[in-house]
Amino acid sequence: MTTLHSGPDSVYDVLGVGFGPANLALAIALHEHGVTAGPEAPFRAGFLERQPRFGWHRGMLIDDATMQVSFLKDLVTMRDPTSDFSFLCYLRERGRLVDFLNQKTLFPLRVEFHDYFEWAAARLGHLVAYGAEVVAVRPVTEDGEVRWFDVVSRDPAAPARHTVRRARALCVATGLEPRLPPGAVLSDLVWHNSELLPRVDELVRSGRPVRRAVVLGAGQSAAEAVDYLHRRLPEAEICSVFAKYGYTPADDSPFANRIFDPEAVDVFYGAPAEVKQSLFDYHRSTNYSVVDTELIESLSRTMYQERVQGRQRLRMLNVSRIREVETRDRDVRVTVEYLPTGERELLASDVLVYATGYRPQSIGDSLGEIAKLCLRDDEDALRVGRDHRVETAPNVTADVYLQGGTEHTHGLTSTLLSTTAVRAGEICSALLARRRADVPRG
């Protein structure tokens, strides 16, 4: 595995589109294979990332927020506990191993885990082109077969120019994009929580007084945004709007957490469609629209203390929905309906934050015309093999692998960190097996 090159004469065994934790884990797996492969021909891999540097949910790296998965579910440990890319090896190199162990926790600070990702990414920086946004993927046909893909990306040194790299396989891991309510329009006053920290920093630096901020959402990110705004804007009223009666605690009990085990992916993948849907519905409370109990209790305690003190800045507008949003020059008029009675309240707010979650990016956004070569099921969802390889038209012998966007086939862990290391190992093995099998690609 060497520095990235371009042009049709320089064919990659795999090009990764996106370089977040998922493809970083794959890069590590392939790198470690290269280290131990012996006399085999080197496996050529490269990765393209549109961001100017490695970043993972930077806008929500709140100073005291902790991970919701164990540090052992890092980039490598579940695949190879002896890897020197583990979180524990990172701690050792940073000189914090003993101090971390003394904390008696499985859940590091989110900013620390992000630093771990950056540490791992820096070690493989020669395999990544940052600032290289993929703008097109084109099939390359020979003798009637699509044997390669030409990946067109912006040149980081000159964005007006494009660079073309040819690959036998793609691994798409473009992550998630913000989900917004229908008709929602972002602005300087209306944000998605993914940009919370830089937006609040900018607001505080501007010195503009903030009387009220409204947060829509009932999940972990919404509760964290409410708590953060309450601390950073000490003069403002913070209103949390959600349709539930109260925040729902996340189910992180040992038996429920088994849905995130690697073995659960096998069970889910082989199950009939109706069983898949049932499993998804049963276990939504492990990840979707739920909040850590500790944070729920902290917010409740804050509300009670404010009631005692006679100055209530934290308001929970439960069983409610936002019905209208009018953005004006200096504020946002938010109409909130209390669902049991239909009563509406008009809130003049300085900030509206949509903490309404994320959704996988469409494969068409990343692959363009290549998406037309991918097969779909009766529900118009992509057909994906257990090895994470997309099923394609019979004349396509080049491969497309997905990391994310496969909840319908592989279950809840598709977009989570829980099985990142194991999935990277599975894709690595599949890529190497496909090459050893000498599938005719030219």
* pLDDT, tens only, 84-113: 999 999 999 999 999 999 999 999 999 999
Tokens of 101: 């162990």
Tokens of 201: 């920093």
Interior/surface letters 149-169, b for 16+ CB within 10 angstroms, e for the rest: bbbbbbebeeeeeebebbbbb
- Give the pLDDT band (50/70/90) at residue 244: very high
CA distances from 91 to 103, 190, 383, 430 (A): 13, 38, 40, 31
Q: Phi first, then psi: give them for residue 32, nearest 5 degrees.
A: -70, -35
Q: In sequence order, what are the beta bridge partners of 170? A: 15, 400
Which residues lie closer than 8 Å to 216 by C-beta, 6 or more apart? 181, 222, 241, 242, 322, 352, 353, 354, 355, 356
Question: Is pLDDT above 90 for 31?
Answer: yes
Arithmetic mean of pLDDT, 410-419: 90
Residue 38's pLDDT is what? Answer: 62
| Helix/strand/coil percentages in the chain, nearest 5 | 35, 25, 40
Which residues lie closer than 8 Å to 222 by C-beta, 6 or more apart? 193, 215, 216, 240, 242, 291, 355
> What long-range pairs does 198-203 form, CB within 8 A, spacing at least 24?
198/58, 198/59, 199/59, 200/228, 200/229, 200/232, 200/233, 203/233, 203/351
The winner for highest mean pLDDT among 81-95, 142-156, 407-421 is: 81-95
**pLDDT per position as a tens digit, 275-334:** 999 998 888 777 788 999 999 999 999 999 999 999 999 999 999 999 999 999 899 999
Question: Is pLDDT above 50 for 183?
Answer: yes
Contact (Cβ atoms closer than 8 angstroms) between residue 190 and residue 327: yes
DSSP type of residue 286:
G
Contact (Cβ atoms closer than 8 angstroms) between residue 60 and residue 68: no
Residue 439's pLDDT is what? Answer: 46
Q: What is the pTM of this model?
A: 0.93
Least confident of 44-58, 220-234, 341-355, 403-417: 403-417
User: What percent of the chain lies above the pLDDT cut of 70?
Assistant: 95
What is the rounded CA–CA span in Å between residue 49 and residue 54? 8
Q: Phi first, then psi: give them for residue 211, nearest 5 degrees.
A: -90, -35
Interior/surface letters 296-327, b for 16+ CB within 10 angstroms, e for the rest: beebeebbeeeeeeeeebbbbbbbbebeebeb
Say which residue the tokens 């329009």 belong to: 185
Tokens of 12: 């990659």
DSSP type of residue 276:
H
Which residues lie closer than 8 Å to 51 by C-beta, 6 or more apart? 130, 131
Residue 7's pLDDT is what? Answer: 58
The secondary element (H helix, E strand) that includes residue 163 is strand 158-167
- Give the pLDDT band (50/70/90) at residue 440: very low
